[in-house]
């Protein structure tokens, strides 16, 4: 059963510290949205309980959100109630469509389980490129270790649309360096850092 506090629904396993952190993270959009010249579609990959999606919906015509954990999606639906321009997929996002074993950590962060015995559930994944979208203005990625795979599965969309990219880069350098290089190789430049996220803008949009 989800809990509701101060107009925010969250899974009962989460503590208020997590909620306060998520609200502050969503406030980062105040700095990101002005960088977005295209305001038609925003992608929220790792949408969690919907706080980013809700704020994106106020600035973009359409928000497409992805969140594999069912407890989180229940709260996402409640937290974004009334925002009819949000489309939510209960699925992980990967490089290629495949079955993904998911492990839910303490605060309902879902990540891929590499040990089959650890998996809490299995979901069929999606790719961003598989949606064949145009006019994407913002791509936010926060998927707990699968960020590069999401970007690789969005390579065509990134090349075509040049969205502003907000990606989580916490973790060891061997994991975060390829994320940065992927974007740099496609003409992106770092706009600013707001830990644990980095925001990139295509050089042609600077």
- Give residue 113's pLDDT: 58
| Whole-number percent of the chain with pLDDT over 70 | 86
Number of structural domains in the chain = 1
* pTM over cut 0.75: yes
Q: Is residue 44 part of a domain?
A: yes
Q: Is residue 10 part of a domain?
A: no
Give the domain extent around 45.
Answer: 17-205
pLDDT digits (tens, 9 = 90+) for 120-137: 778 899 999 999 999 999
Residue 86 belongs to a domain with what CATH number? Answer: 3.40.50.150
pLDDT digits (tens, 9 = 90+) for 172-202: 787 899 999 999 999 999 999 988 899 999 9
Rounded to whole angstroms, the Cα distance separating 163 from 201 reads 7
pLDDT digits (tens, 9 = 90+) for 146-157: 999 999 999 999
**Through-space distance between the first and last CA atoms of the chain, rounded to whole angstroms:** 46
């Amino acid at each position: 059963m989800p809990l509701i506090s101060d107009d925010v629904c969250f899974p009962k396993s989460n503590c208020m510290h997590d909620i306060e952190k998520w609200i502050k993270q969503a406030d980062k959009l105040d700095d990101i949205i002005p960088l977005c010249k295209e305001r038609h579609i925003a992608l929220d990959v790792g949408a969690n309980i919907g706080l980013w999606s809700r704020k994106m919906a106020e600035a973009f015509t359409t928000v497409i959100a992805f969140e594999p954990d069912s407890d989180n999606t229940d709260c996402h639906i409640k937290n974004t109630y009334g925002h009819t321009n949000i489309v939510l997929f209960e699925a992980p996002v990967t490089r290629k469509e495949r079955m993904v074993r998911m492990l839910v950590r303490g605060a309902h962060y879902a990540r891929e389980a590499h040990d089959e015995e650890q998996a809490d559930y299995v979901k069929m994944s999606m790719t961003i490129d598989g949606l064949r979208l145009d006019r994407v203005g913002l791509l936010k990625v926060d998927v707990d270790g699968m960020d590069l795979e999401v970007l690789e599965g969005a390579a065509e969309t990134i090349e075509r649309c040049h969205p502003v990219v907000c990606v989580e880069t916490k973790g060891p350098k061997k994991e975060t360096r390829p994320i940065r290089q992927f974007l740099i190789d496609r003409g992106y430049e770092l706009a600013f850092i707001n830990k644990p996220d980095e925001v990139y803008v295509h050089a042609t949009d600077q």
